Structure 1
Amino acid sequence: MSERERLRDWAFQLDSEWGLRHVGKCIICGEMSLDSPSEDEAREWCLNHARATGDDHFELFGIQYGSALFREPLSVNGTSPT
């Protein structure tokens, strides 16, 4: 099976239960906040971390969780495609 055929058999499904999550990360020490549904909470974590450590460079990003699901190939007249 070619790489292209292998990729076609999989689908990525976002986890709608989690939605978009936000994370703050300190670029100086690498510490990260817990993921949160609130961008404001992630930003507030960055500010609290700056107050506590003096670190002043951060990355704020959103993430989505999902799963890779195997899709059965469509059959033609009851036979598997080749």
Structure 2
Amino acid sequence: MRARYRFAEWALAAHSEVRFIGECLDCGERCVDTESADDAQGWCLKHAGLTGDRRFEMKGFQLFTAYLTNAAADGAPPAT
């Protein structure tokens, strides 16, 4: 029996704009994700003033979906 290989091409589609989260590294609390880096930083400063915590991390993220770009060529239905 011979091996049969199929190669697929994939692409990513963004589902949102970049979002930001400020997280306290001292207690683990974090703000609700926001579209504004300034709002996330503001949360960190307010949290520092209320709790005395001093170490923070800000994370930016964007959501994506992967889909096959050549699915129709293989007879498969296109990804949605």
What is the CA–CA distance in structure 1 between the aligned matches of 2:47 and 2:66, rounded to whole Å? 35
Deviation at 1:70, TM superposition (A): 4.2
Write the letter of the residue equivalent to 2:36: S
Does the residue aligned with 1:47 lie in a helix, a strand or coil?
helix
Write the letter of the residue equivalent to 1:13: A
Tell me the alpha carbon deviations over residues 7-55 of structure 1, each in whole angstroms, 9 at most, x when there is no partner: x45432111xx31111101111111111111111000000011111111
| Equivalenced residues, count | 72
What is the CA–CA distance in structure 2 between the aligned matches of 1:25 and 1:31, rounded to whole Å? 6
The TM-score normalised by the length of structure 2 is 0.70
For 1:66-77, what aligned pairs fall within 5 Å after superposition?
66-73=64-71, 75=73
Does the residue aligned with 2:41 lie in a helix, a strand or coil?
helix
What is the CA–CA distance in structure 2 between the aligned matches of 1:20 and 1:73, rounded to whole Å? 28
From 54, 57, 60, the counterpart of 2:55 = 57
Identity %: 35
What is the CA–CA distance in structure 1 between the aligned matches of 2:65 and 2:12, rounded to whole Å? 6
The TM-score normalised by the length of structure 1 is 0.69
What is the CA–CA distance in structure 2 between the aligned matches of 1:37 and 1:73, rounded to whole Å? 34
Q: Where in structure 1 do 4 or more consecutive aligned residues deviate above 4 Å? A: none
What is the CA–CA distance in structure 1 between the aligned matches of 2:67 and 2:31, rounded to whole Å? 29
Which residue is 1:11 aligned to?
11
> Any gaps of 5 or more consecutive residues in structure 2?
76-80
